[in-house]
Structure 1
Amino acid sequence: MKNKTNNALPDTTVVLGLLEANQGVTFTFKQLANKLEAHSKPAKIALGNVLEELVRNGRIILTSHEQFMATPQYEYVEGVVDFVNPRFAFIICEGREEDIKIDAEHLHAALDGDKVRVRLYKAGRRSRQEGEVDEILERRRHEFVGRLEINRRLAFVVPDTRKMHVDIFIPSEGIGQAQHGDKVIVKVMDFGNDIRNPEGVVTEILGKAGENNAEMHSILAEFGLPARFEENVDAEANAISTELPAEEIARRRDFRKVTTFTIDPIDAKDFDDAISLRTLENGNWEVGVHIADVSHYVRPNTVLEAEAYRRATSVYLVDRVVPMLPEKLSNELCSLRPHEDKFTFSAVFELDKNARVKDQWFGRTVIHSDRRFTYEEAQEILETGEGDFAKEVLLLNELAHKLREERFRKGSIGFETPEVRFKLDETGKPLAVIPKVRKDAHKLVEDFMLLANKKVAEFVFNQKKDRPKNTMVYRVHDAPDPQKMQTFSNFVKKFGYKLSVEEGHISDSLNSLIADVEGKPEQDALQSLAVRTMAKARYTIENIGHFGLAFKHYTHFTSPIRRYPDVMVHRLLQHYLDGGQPADAVLLEMQCRHSSDMERRASEAERASIKYKQVEFMRMQEEGRIFDGVISGISEWGVYVEITETKCEGMVRFGDLSDDHYEYDKENYRAIGLHKKRILAFGDKVQVRVKNTDLDKRTIDLEFAGTSQMPARAKTSGGGNDRGGRKHRR
């Protein structure tokens, strides 16, 4: 007896349902007909029509072998490209713990920092999630800085940034007056594709590569930071009168007869803050923290206001300051120079002998600084007990010590990350790298600035008891990620140290660790790692406190000449002192985000300028000289070594070591030779010599030497910083 034939004709829903239920499986027409019992001629014709329509609409795929399958269902995410090396990039997605790895050929012309839509691959046997760029949603930048290379047929700009792994083609008409070897800014007109380089035109010539001024300007341009003020900005600043109107003085609290002085770096010109001191009748002390009243001069809806907001911060490179405000304001009108009357915004405290705050006052003032101290001059007074205003300086230092002790008792963390400065000749060449040393004079000023910042934040937060609370700009620092802290705790254990990660004990435990490592070879490296486990401080209207300082409320009030958030805080404080209602939260949060972003850029530019001078300095050293160093980091490519004498960091690449093949042991911060089992571990003392320096990329390649000697492989063409072969696709 024959089976009955299904008389129903196949439709779209049935066919698509079958294929989608079998994701990744291919079917011939005959197999589908059998599955759907489409045996009659009309049924087969209907099936053919349905399949043709589904293929045409992209719902299913017809393979080269005449088989049908459902179009794969991918998961899509959005994120930002971190183009770590020429071979692959990571996509950083907000809210996703692990970044997505994408091979360079699957970026499809996306560049570092671009916002992209990514199609995720099925995990399969891959150790981490991988994917492919499906769409570029937003380009991070259209301008790049680099060195122009011209030959007879082609011109390219080799970008300075290490995360740009393709050169930019410049057609002959886009070169302008630029010459071979010039540092230039190039605007990308066409971002290219998988087989074609980006194409651009030269918009500005910065100078010859290697010249100090050209290199510093190129660093500013690389991070999107302005190098100069437009004429209209300077004009508005220059039009402001230097006179202090009598009617304005009358509205302010007058501190001109109170002993007042500033303590700043020897080369500073923008004196943001001054400290006053006098003894009260009850035996307590009145300490005034007087801050330049920038908001008196920089008013809303002006050119100066727009420029201050755009810049959001001053930028400190190794040889210059690029100010947030024009020189007329930053170095003259607002700067609290000695023997001049100045308008200030002040936080005034009554302190007892234990530096406890018994009373406080906030408001606009006028001061007259009696003395401008450098840190060195103030430190000499602290060490000798002699000098101008010695009694006041010594007393302030005594109070500062008590403030500091109380802060640490409550959980403040005492990180002292190593910093360097340079002795430069008249052309900007580095003659020496000098580690910065923070002494009591620095800490004295810092402690009173911290007190003012904390108390201003507390005052605004507590002023309004009911809801909605006063909107305020806070400087916040979140608690560290528990997983990162556990990893760090496990690591320091290998050095014989103990770090508790229990909530409520982290700060004390970190301070104990900092004390224990002081003076040890691993001190700088471990402190740097500890800092990396911390969250980044930022600006926001959401008060979550400051973990590193152990303050429940904290803001930035004390540096309005160089930080826009401080200008915002001054305006908000005066607004609430005048009885104003909570300010616009949406606008303030937007301004906070912008300020945090500009702070990050300025910090990156500062580090880049330091790194450039370090590379330049090491390039000038005697060839073959052996340096003592410490392994300060380890990656898949090699070990980082910080040279003890100069604090310069370079890399010994695994590819240059011929004694063994080394594998990166990420969990234990070390590399192990597969055959001889030699271990290169974080914190190890080593000796190295300079193998290669690359000023454009600001990198130093090192090789082991002396007691750390290893036979090095022959150098590859292009030097130690060859980027895996730059891509010239034209």
Structure 2
Amino acid sequence: MKKKVLDFYKSIQPHAYHIEDAAMDNHIRGGKDLEMFIRSAKMLAREGVLTSSRPDVYQYAEQQHEEYEGIYKGYRKSYGFVIMPDDEDIYVAEQNKGTAMHNDKVRVRVVPSNYTKHKREGVIVDVIERANKTIVGTYDRQQHFGFVIPDDERIGTDIFVDLKYTLDARSGAKVLVKITKWPEGDKKPEGIITEILGYKGDVGLDINCIMANHKIPFNFPDDVIKASKKIDTVIHEDPDRWDLRDVQMVTIDGEDAKDLDDAVSGRKLPNGNYELGVHIADVSHYVTSGQPIDNEAYKRGTSVYLVDRVVPMLPEVLSNGICSLNAHEDRYAMTCMMEIDHTGKVVHYRIRPSIIHVGRRCSYKEVYKALEENIIPDDLQDFMPMLRDLAEISKILNAMRRRRGALDFDFPEYKVLLDHDGTPLRIVKRDRTMAERLIEECMLIANETVATHLKDTQRTSVYRIHEHPSEEKLDL
């Protein structure tokens, strides 16, 4: 209908015309069509396409206003802003947002502002890309239909749900609704409930809602599950791998860690230098590029650590199984073996695929107690010479980094303790001891050595940088 109104006023420009006369000329006599025709003219006037010199009299506005693309952010039901990356944001009143929803990419037309506190005011004329394909909210069932009230008030509208597509959810259920039809005119968006997240009082409901809001998947797709079941979890003899199963090594992680992806080894050499080995689980042996497991891992990007669970990037058979460096089991790894002198310089290194055998799983707490307080469990006694060598190596590496001007961000960390029902009991501070620093120093020098190797051998690789901090942040 907007197009019909616009085409008419374009055809008679520069003349003005009463909207009801315009409707008559378009053979619209009354009823809903007339209401829509009049409403469309008012919308075009708000958008700056038509001008109105007196009530209900419009003419085509030859002078068009500037248009921009940006992300619409709803703040309250009465207004929002289009966020401009390189310019001042544009204020959008509720009646000018059209069908845009929070976080949609939109095209906005700047119009004369009625609000002195906003330099630029706009009317959203088009939604370029929808952001909220799924929404978390509370289901409210009526007699013949239902609707979902979004948890995020910035969405700004409820979602209509036909009773056929509710999964038999009861009123009050927290649900995930998939949008099937976007809002149009005065009509609300429509959707189908794809998952019932739970009801008030359910254990873990809040975490389920957080996961759904952030698009964190609850399960792996069927093709990934099928592919994971075909993985060969037997460690075979391989002449192309460096057999390090006779090298003493340990993992050192938090007490509640489930996926152990790095092990360390260390010893003092006859020439006075130290040998440090960092052994990383060889996931690439099991994950083939372009196949279902790889594609799903690419979508996820990383594992997600929540207060009561871990959502892994890889199926459990890999993340907690064959790619976890469990004690007393052979595992495929990628090893970086470095010879380090007393100044912290890596004088020689080897990087090779390997087969390893972790002798013991250690926690940060027990390593700290063993090295600093001499409280040593019986089954850790045999590993103490190596742990003392690793501690000495970490001191040498830390001193080297400090001489180079490295920053040490020693921020406190906190952990939420839960009871068996998932209810938070208290928040405790996690102290960063020399055991954590020991592992950090080992990983830092391994990363640096691998990066240097890639640079010196001119191998194409992906790397991350940290941009220079602003003066404001440096002053904090």
With normalisation by structure 2, the TM-score equals 0.81
What is the aligned counterpart of 2:308 among 319, 332, 336?
319
CA contact 2:265–2:277 (8 Å) conserved in 1: yes
What is the aligned counterpart of 2:348 among 324, 340, 359?
359
Give the structure 1 partner of residue 181 of structure 2: 190
Give the structure 1 partner of residue 42 of structure 2: none
Task: Measure, in 2, the Cα distance between the counterparts of 1:357 and 1:106.
Answer: 63
Kindly provide the amino acid, as one letter, of the partner of residue 199 in structure 2. K
Task: Measure, in 2, the Cα distance between the counterparts of 1:286 and 1:368.
Answer: 18
Shift of 1:277: 0.9
Give the structure 1 partner of residue 22 of structure 2: none
Q: Which runs of 5+ in 2 are unaligned?
A: 1-12, 17-47
Identity across aligned pairs (percent)? 36
Give the structure 1 partner of residue 323 of structure 2: 334
Please tell me whether residue 157 in structure 1 is matched to residue 151 in structure 2.
no
Please tell me whether residue 288 in structure 1 is matched to residue 282 in structure 2.
no
Structure 1 residues 83, 419: CA separation in 2 closer, same or farther (over 3 Å shift)? Answer: farther
CA contact 1:290–1:346 (8 Å) conserved in 2: yes
Shift of 1:260: 0.6
1:258-296 per-position Cα deviation (integer Å, ceiling 9, x unaligned): 221001111112111000112223111110111000000
Give the structure 2 partner of residue 424 of structure 1: 418
Give the structure 2 partner of residue 278 of structure 1: 267
Task: Measure, in 2, the Cα distance between the counterparts of 1:322 and 1:307.
Answer: 13
Q: Please give the secondary structure, in 2, of the residue aligned with 1:313.
A: coil
Structure 1 residues 330, 63: CA separation in 2 closer, same or farther (over 3 Å shift)? Answer: closer
Give the structure 2 partner of residue 728 of structure 1: none
Give the structure 2 partner of residue 435 of structure 1: 429
Q: Which runs of 5+ in 1 are unaligned?
A: 1-18, 20-25, 29-58, 465-469, 490-498, 500-529, 531-730
| Aligned residue runs from structure 1 range 599-618, under 5 A | none
Give the structure 2 partner of residue 230 of structure 1: 221
Task: Measure, in 2, the Cα distance between the counterparts of 1:348 and 1:154.
Answer: 65
CA contact 2:344–2:400 (8 Å) conserved in 1: no
Structure 1 residues 125, 472: CA separation in 2 closer, same or farther (over 3 Å shift)? Answer: same
Kindly provide the amino acid, as one letter, of the partner of residue 311 in structure 1. R
Give the structure 2 partner of residue 107 of structure 1: 97
Q: Please give the secondary structure, in 1, of the residue aligned with 2:417.
A: strand
Give the structure 2 partner of residue 369 of structure 1: 358
CA contact 1:161–1:222 (8 Å) conserved in 2: no
1:169-201 per-position Cα deviation (integer Å, ceiling 9, x unaligned): 323333341111212111122232464432222
Give the structure 1 partner of residue 258 of structure 2: 269
Give the structure 1 partner of residue 461 of structure 2: 472
RMSD: 2.9
Give the structure 2 partner of residue 645 of structure 1: none
Please tell me whether residue 394 in structure 1 is matched to residue 383 in structure 2.
no
Task: Measure, in 2, the Cα distance between the counterparts of 1:104 and 1:146.
Answer: 22
Please tell me whether residue 145 in structure 1 is matched to residue 139 in structure 2.
no
Shift of 1:61: 5.8
Q: Please give the secondary structure, in 2, of the residue aligned with 1:414.
A: coil
Q: Please give the secondary structure, in 1, of the residue aligned with 2:464.
A: strand
Shift of 1:359: 1.7
1:396-453 per-position Cα deviation (integer Å, ceiling 9, x unaligned): 2333234334434444443344443222222211122223322221222122212222
More strand by share: 2
Kindly provide the amino acid, as one letter, of the partner of residue 448 in structure 1. C
Structure 1 residues 109, 394: CA separation in 2 closer, same or farther (over 3 Å shift)? Answer: farther
Q: Which has the higher contact order (CA 8 A, sep 6+)?
A: 1
Give the structure 2 partner of residue 494 of structure 1: none
Task: Measure, in 2, the Cα distance between the counterparts of 1:302 and 1:331.
Answer: 20
Task: Measure, in 2, the Cα distance between the counterparts of 1:60 and 1:151.
Answer: 40
Q: Please give the secondary structure, in 2, of the residue aligned with 1:444.
A: helix
Give the structure 1 partner of residue 26 of structure 2: none
Give the structure 1 partner of residue 9 of structure 2: none
Kindly provide the amino acid, as one letter, of the partner of residue 439 in structure 1. T
Structure 1 residues 70, 204: CA separation in 2 closer, same or farther (over 3 Å shift)? Answer: closer
CA contact 1:284–1:350 (8 Å) conserved in 2: yes
Give the structure 2 partner of residue 79 of structure 1: 70
Shift of 1:318: 0.8
Please tell me whether residue 118 in structure 1 is matched to residue 108 in structure 2.
yes
1:126-169 per-position Cα deviation (integer Å, ceiling 9, x unaligned): 44433221210011131112221234576332223354233223
The alignment covers a number of residue pairs equal to 427
Task: Measure, in 2, the Cα distance between the counterparts of 1:405 and 1:86.
Answer: 56
Task: Measure, in 1, the Cα distance between the counterparts of 2:294 and 2:75.
Answer: 37
Structure 1 residues 254, 379: CA separation in 2 closer, same or farther (over 3 Å shift)? Answer: same
CA contact 1:381–1:393 (8 Å) conserved in 2: no
Task: Measure, in 2, the Cα distance between the counterparts of 1:426 and 1:404.
Answer: 40
Give the structure 1 partner of residue 440 of structure 2: 446
Give the structure 1 partner of residue 246 of structure 2: 257
Shift of 1:206: 2.2
Structure 1 residues 115, 386: CA separation in 2 closer, same or farther (over 3 Å shift)? Answer: same
Give the structure 1 partner of residue 333 of structure 2: 344
Give the structure 1 partner of residue 409 of structure 2: 415
Question: Is 394-403 or 289-298 further displaced after alignment?
Answer: 394-403
CA contact 1:420–1:435 (8 Å) conserved in 2: yes
Shift of 1:121: 3.4
Give the structure 2 partner of residue 173 of structure 1: 164
Give the structure 1 partner of residue 35 of structure 2: none
